[in-house]
Copies of this chain bind each other. A is one copy, B any other.
Amino acid sequence: MYGHIYHTFERAPASLVERFRGVSTSTLSDAMGRHGAMKSNIRPIYDDISMVGSAFTVLCFPGDNIMTHKALQMVGPGDVLVIDDGDYDTGCFGHRSALQARSRGCVGLVASGSIRDLALLRKERFPVFSRSVSPRAPQKSTPGSINVPVHVGGLVVNPGDIIVGDDDGVVVVPLASAEAILEKATQRDRLEAEAIAKGRTGELPLDPAHGVLEIDKLLKGKVVEHTEPYARHA
């Protein structure tokens, strides 16, 4: 979808988005049946990062950020800019863009390529997840699209999808299933916290979910157990 600008898209209610705050990306990915996590090369620019919002998607020609400039005039409160620029080695977004975005209520950025002004972005604590950092500026000449499905970090992101980022990376929660996934994830988190608490006091073993019995059952008849050490020429 090249050459299309969509000025509106469906966003989740702010109250729903807000409930994702504090739910870890790991738990969310679990709740999506292991799907939904971006590739490990999309990394945050500082530690103890946290970002939750609605995807405002931008499709750039690699090395060209004219559409990002257009998006900076359109992005709205609670949005996360999700820029697909082809994993390209160019700083498609910097300090001033972050200030513009924030002034419109935008809460963060995910980019398949590079950003620049890293030190300033860190100082502003503007949440950014990207593949890399580069001082090189993009061209401004080939149009792309705004608020169409894009590709970042190995996933398709639709405008309005809920984007959650923390130190582990970024997950994309499809808007239509957001409630159900959140429910499942919250429950997992609660069970996990309980299990860890009981595990720390010794009340229960630390891994009830995949405990001794279950793992042994899964492996039964599929592995040979040896009481002697491995020896190549035994």
Interface residues of A (CB under 8 A from B): 1-10, 24-26, 28-30, 32-37, 39-41, 43, 47-48, 61-64, 66, 69-70, 72-73, 86-91, 94-97, 99-100, 103, 114, 116-119, 122, 131-145, 147-151, 154-156, 158-159, 166-169, 171, 174, 192, 195-196, 199-200, 206-207, 210, 212, 215-216, 218-219, 222-233
Contacts and interface: CB of A to CB of B under 8 A. Distances in A.
Nearest to A160: B229
A117 B135 CA distance: 27
Nearest to A228: B8
Contact of A119 (B28, B48, B149): B48
A1 to B, nearest CB: 6
A7 B224 CA distance: 11
A54 B199 CA distance: 25
A207 B132 contact: no
A-B pairs, top 7 by smallest CB distance, nearest first, are A40-B132, A25-B135, A37-B136, A2-B35, A100-B206, A119-B167, A37-B135
Contacts of A28: 135
B89 A39 contact: yes
B8 A229 contact: yes
Contacts of A143: 33, 219, 222-223
Contacts of A206: 96, 99-100, 103
A4 B174 CA distance: 12
Give the one of A40, A89, A96, A139 with max B CB within 10 A.
Answer: A40
